[in-house]
Amino acid sequence: MSNPANSTDARRKEDASAATNSTDERSFKQLFWRALRLRCAKCGVGAMFGGYWKVHKSCDHCGVQYEREPGFFLGSIYFNYGLTALIVAVVYPVLLFSNSVDETTLLWSCLGFTILFPMWFFRYARALWAGFDQFWDPREESASNSDTTG
């Protein structure tokens, strides 16, 4: 008996209040959940994507730059390729040896999957990569993008 609009508002408020707590920002579960919702890894409120292929430059809520350095999102390939290969490496032999699908059909289906799945998973891979980065190398409130070295 919960109103979906109210629960969405409650979640947004929860995320916004969690953004002020630095220990919550590093919680693995919370970062994972933010990635699945394609939200900013740092605050969990701002949307990471403006369209299917377009990543926003920065969070509209907390202002953090999503692409931390040139080529930052190359690391998302690990998630995208890794999950695609894992799924095919499990599903292909299981279906092949169960004789439930014709061998040629299975081969073409897996080939199609390895092309289409990474295209669909692209945004999630980037969001997961951003969360992974936030987990291991968190960006704090006071830190800006200008590193003062030297």
Q: Which residues of this chain interact with Zn ion, rule CB under 5 A?
A: 40, 42-43, 46, 59, 61-62
CB of 64 to Zn ion, least distance (A): 5
Which residues contact residue 78 at a Cβ distance below 8 angstroms, ignoring those fewer than 6 apart?
129
Complex with Zn ion: residue 44 or 110, whichever CB lies closer: 44
Complex with Zn ion: residue 31 or 110, whichever CB lies closer: 31
Complex with Zn ion: residue 39 or 80, whichever CB lies closer: 39
Q: What is the DSSP string of the chain?
A: ---HHHHHHHHHHHHHHHTT-HHHHT-HHHHHHHHHTTB-TTTS-SBSBSSSSPBPSB-TTT--BSS-STTGGGGHHHHHHHHHHHHHHHHHHHHHHHT-S-HHHHHHHHHHHHHHHHHHHHHHHHHHHHHHHHHHSPPPSS--S-----
CB of 66 to Zn ion, least distance (A): 9
Complex with Zn ion: residue 110 or 123, whichever CB lies closer: 123
CB of 46 to Zn ion, least distance (A): 4
CB of 26 to Zn ion, least distance (A): 14
Residue type, 90: V
